[in-house]
């Protein structure tokens, strides 16, 4: 509780979470982390988790049992029905806002930018209700000129920024602190720093990892879509000219050895994570994007204890600052990268440090206790809410 200068004691609110956009195992690492962290909140600060039935079935049952649960209709984003999905996300989110009672707080964990526009407008009808929307990689659309057409996220994010008022009471949440500065700048005075909360994306240590054979060739992986923006062409060049190391591309449902081009199908999430854990290093030579979003592939690699070798994009600079050189090494260009991969002493040191990296995850900014503290901050009435004194949060 917080005591205000006039003697009013501001109680913690009761936090409910709604996921109106994802189904099944989509965003499961983030959502499972929120469920686990929220289960550690005092019972009076914990409300209901709203989600699609297939999502509820994927969440860890024991921490989920600490929450009340309710199913909601959600359209699978893979169906690519922008108008219908936007309307459904808007309807479900706004319905939940109307049902909030005194003392409630609501975290909306993901919505399409087109739905965010309507939620922003609808929230003006309920200025005292404490609602926070989590913003993800769609903020990148504001930074790239080729994403400003009606079929892109950037177009709708730009529309949202323009209609948002300086006095808006719709709070925002992001998954890392470096994203806050970008949003404040992009918000052009419509978004204040105190409107933004950081709810870190969880990194959970992978436990079923085979011991590293330091006598075998070091293995370097590329994780995710094989695109020019993610520097896959550089990965291929390095792989074809560095025979002392093994290179693998993991993602899109398969594992590919490079440059040999042997393929193996991946059997679900567990096989995907085992394939990552079998490597020593994860290479992220990105040349575009990730100025205002985190790479889920990088978080998967960290959770398996791999050492990241990455270009100097905002995402990786932040991971370096938060986790340190034991987890991340940044490189300036191809020559710098080659020098690292041709240094056997450096490679051996990083491979041997894997167990320490795995242990250090539990004390990192992305640990469960830190996420619990972040969720607790969402239950504290902010100055905007208190200024609307009726104390009807």
What is the value of pTM for the model shown?
0.86
- The residues, any chain, with a CB within 8 Å of residue 391's CB and separated by 6 or more, are 8, 10, 381
| Residue numbers of the domain that contains 268 | 219-363
Q: Which residues of 90-116 are buried (b: 16+ CB within 10 A; e: fewer)?
A: bebbbebbeebeebbbbbbbbbbbbbb
Quick one: 177 and 278 in the same domain? Answer: no
Count the helix, strand and coil residues of the chain and give each as a percent rounded to the nearest 5. 45, 15, 40
Name the β-bridge partners of 382: none
- Classify residue 47: in a domain, yes or no: yes
Tokens of 19: 């996921």
> What local confidence, expressed as pLDDT, does residue 197 receive?
94
Quick one: 228 and 84 in the same domain? Answer: no
Name the β-bridge partners of 173: 134, 197
Quick one: 337 and 268 in the same domain? Answer: yes
Domain count, the chain: 2
- Cα gap 292→140, rounded to integer Å: 6
Quick one: 182 and 262 in the same domain? Answer: no
Query: ∠ CA(72), CA(75), CA(76), 5° rounding?
Result: 120
Tens of pLDDT along the chain (393 residues)? Answer: 444 444 444 578 999 999 999 999 888 889 999 999 999 999 999 999 999 999 999 999 999 999 999 999 999 988 768 899 999 999 999 999 999 999 999 999 999 999 999 999 999 999 999 999 999 888 887 776 666 667 677 788 889 989 999 999 999 999 999 999 888 888 778 888 888 999 999 998 887 777 777 788 999 999 988 999 999 999 999 999 999 999 999 988 899 989 888 889 988 778 888 899 999 999 999 998 888 888 989 999 999 999 999 999 999 999 999 999 999 999 999 999 999 999 999 999 999 999 999 999 989 999 999 999 999 999 987 644 444 334 344
Quick one: 188 and 224 in the same domain? Answer: no
Three state DSSP letters for 194-262:
HHEEECCCCCCCCCCCCCCCCCCCCEEEEECCCCCCCCHHHHHHHHHCCCCCEEEEEECCEEEEECCCC
- On whether the CB atoms of residues 307 and 353 are closer than 8 A, the answer is yes
Quick one: 333 and 232 in the same domain? Answer: yes
> What's the CATH code of the domain at 83?
3.40.50.2000
**Judging by DSSP bridges, how do beta strands 46-51 and 14-18 pair with one another?**
parallel
- Classify residue 156: in a domain, yes or no: yes
> What local confidence, expressed as pLDDT, does residue 78 receive?
82
């Amino acid at each position: 509780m917080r005591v205000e200068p006039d003697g009013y004691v501001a109680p913690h609110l009761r936090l409910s979470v709604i996921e109106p956009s994802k189904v099944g195992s989509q965003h499961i690492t983030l959502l499972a982390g929120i469920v686990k962290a929220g289960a550690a909140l005092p019972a009076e600060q914990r409300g209901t988790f709203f989600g699609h039935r297939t999502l509820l079935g994927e969440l860890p049952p024991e921490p989920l049992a600490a929450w009340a649960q309710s199913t909601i209709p959600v359209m699978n984003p893979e169906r690519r029905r922008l108008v219908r999905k936007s309307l459904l996300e808007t309807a479900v989110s706004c319905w939940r806002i109307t049902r909030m009672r005194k003392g409630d707080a609501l975290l909306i964990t993901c919505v399409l930018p087109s739905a965010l526009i309507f939620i922003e407008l609808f929230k003006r009808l309920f200025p005292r209700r404490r609602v926070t929307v989590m913003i993800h990689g769609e903020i990148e659309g504001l930074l790239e000129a080729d994403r400003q057409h009606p079929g892109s996220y950037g177009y709708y994010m730009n529309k949202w920024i323009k209609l948002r008022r300086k006095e808006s009471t719709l709070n925002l949440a992001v998954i890392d602190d470096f994203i806050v500065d970008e949003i404040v700048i992009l918000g052009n005075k419509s978004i204040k720093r105190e409107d933004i909360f950081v709810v870190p994306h969880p990194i959970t240590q992978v436990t079923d990892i085979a011991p590293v054979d330091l006598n075998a060739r070091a293995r370097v992986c590329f994780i995710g879509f094989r695109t020019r923006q993610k520097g896959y062409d550089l990965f291929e060049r390095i792989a074809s000219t560095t025979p002392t190391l093994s290179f693998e591309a993991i993602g899109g449902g398969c594992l590919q050895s490079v440059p040999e081009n042997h393929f193996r199908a991946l059997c679900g999430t567990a096989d995907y994570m085992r394939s990552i854990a079998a490597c020593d290093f994860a290479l992220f030579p990105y040349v575009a994007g990730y100025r205002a979003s985190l790479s889920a592939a990088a978080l998967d690699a960290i959770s398996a204890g791999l050492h990241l070798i990455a270009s100097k994009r905002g995402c990786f600079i932040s991971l370096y600052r938060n986790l340190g050189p034991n987890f991340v090494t940044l490189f300036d260009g191809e020559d710098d990268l080659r020098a690292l991969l041709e240094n056997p002493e450096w490679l051996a040191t990083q491979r041997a440090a894997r167990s320490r990296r795995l242990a250090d995850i539990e004390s990192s900014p992305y640990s469960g206790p830190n996420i619990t503290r972040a969720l607790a901050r969402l239950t504290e009435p902010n100055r905007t809410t208190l200024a609307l004194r009726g104390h009807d949060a």
